[in-house]
């Protein structure tokens, strides 16, 4: 994963003149540019790199600096971007299944905005030797950022819980199908001590349960029973049979 800087799908747009003049003047000027990169500075808004028609390069502009055409009214960056970068380590992905789909989001003032999906920014901490003092690895705090071209000519970056995507053949429900709750769990399949592998070099090794936390023991006598039940499941994988065999295994402590 890139650290600090990353390529993005190029955006042909305009940069507002005031961002090239330290906000001193040129608020009514607009210049063609190509946005080609993003910088992730922890605790700062995502920042972007541009190339201009005269060969000029400019680093680390906020998303509020850009618009699709001259004359687009500038918006408060707080209503364009909800969160700062979570880490110096950033990924950029243009998800094929979301490409060019319509999106909407709700800003801080509870105003709805519509636009088109461009790509997604995401963060994590890949180096265990570097102190992770952010939230990129926290299930309840982590956020990605979808880059959206708004219909009013501005650009925005919003997380999953502020957006809705529109896919004409699938997203047919107008109301929320469930009141979603933020996940706080870390999904880990190697965090228990009640299972142990067979101590051998066999390719098809057995997995046994240990007498821990009330878990049943699968000893040498029971292994053939477990294996037979599993083979029966593979031979006839229908729902009714599965439930019967699961019930049998539960009743017999398998």
How many percent of the chain have pLDDT more than 70?
A: 77
Q: Residue 24's pLDDT band (boundaries 50, 70, 90)?
A: very high
- Round to whole Å and give the CA distance between 68 and 118: 13
Q: Residue 142's pLDDT band (boundaries 50, 70, 90)?
A: confident
Q: Which of 33, 40, 43 is nearest to 12 (CA)?
A: 33
To 5 degrees, how large is the angle CA 108–CA 109–CA 110? 90
What value does the mean pLDDT take over residues 160-173? 94
Q: What is the pLDDT of residues 45-60, one digit of tens each?
A: 999 999 999 999 999 9
Q: Are residues 9 and 119 in contact, defined by beta-carbon separation less than 8 angstroms?
A: yes
DSSP 3-state of 6: strand
How many percent of the chain have pLDDT more than 90?
A: 57
- pLDDT over 60 (residue 211): no
Give the domain ranges of the chain: 5-166, 195-251
Q: Which of 158, 164, 142, 134 is nearest to 77 (CA)?
A: 158
- Round to whole Å and give the CA distance between 93 and 115: 18
- Round to whole Å and give the CA distance between 143 and 157: 11
Average pLDDT value over all residues in the chain: 86
Q: Residue 219's pLDDT band (boundaries 50, 70, 90)?
A: low
DSSP 3-state of 43: coil
Of 107 and 203, the one with more pLDDT: 107
Of 251 and 222, the one with more pLDDT: 251
- pLDDT over 60 (residue 62): yes
- pLDDT over 50 (residue 154): yes
**CATH number corresponding to 5-166:** 2.30.30.140
């Amino acid at each position: 994963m890139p650290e600090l800087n990353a390529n993005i799908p190029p955006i042909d747009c305009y940069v507002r003149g005031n961002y090239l003049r330290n906000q001193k003047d040129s608020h009514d000027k607009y210049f063609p540019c190509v946005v080609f990169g993003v910088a992730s500075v922890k605790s700062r808004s995502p920042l972007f790199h541009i190339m201009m028609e005269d060969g000029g390069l400019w680093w680390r502009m906020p998303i509020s600096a850009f618009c699709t055409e001259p004359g687009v009214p500038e918006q408060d960056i707080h209503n364009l971007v909800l969160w700062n970068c979570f880490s110096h380590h950033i990924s950029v992905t243009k998800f094929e299944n979301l490409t060019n789909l319509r999106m909407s989001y709700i800003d801080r003032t509870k105003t709805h905005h519509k636009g088109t999906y461009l790509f997604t920014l995401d963060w994590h901490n890949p180096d265990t030797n570097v102190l992770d003092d952010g939230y990129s690895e926290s299930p309840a705090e982590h956020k990605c950022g979808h880059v959206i071209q708004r219909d009013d000519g501005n650009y925005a970056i919003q997380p999953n819980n502020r957006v809705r995507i529109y896919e004409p053949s699938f997203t047919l429900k107008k109301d929320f199908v469930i009141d979603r709750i933020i996940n706080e769990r870390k999904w880990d399949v190697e965090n228990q001590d009640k299972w142990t592998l067979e101590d051998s070099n066999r390719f098809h090794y057995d997995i046994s349960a240990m007498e821990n936390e009330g878990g049943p023991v699968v000893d040498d006598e029971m292994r053939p029973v477990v294996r037979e039940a599993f083979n029966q499941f593979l031979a006839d994988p229908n729902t009714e049979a599965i439930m019967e065999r699961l019930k049998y295994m539960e009743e017999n402590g398998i």
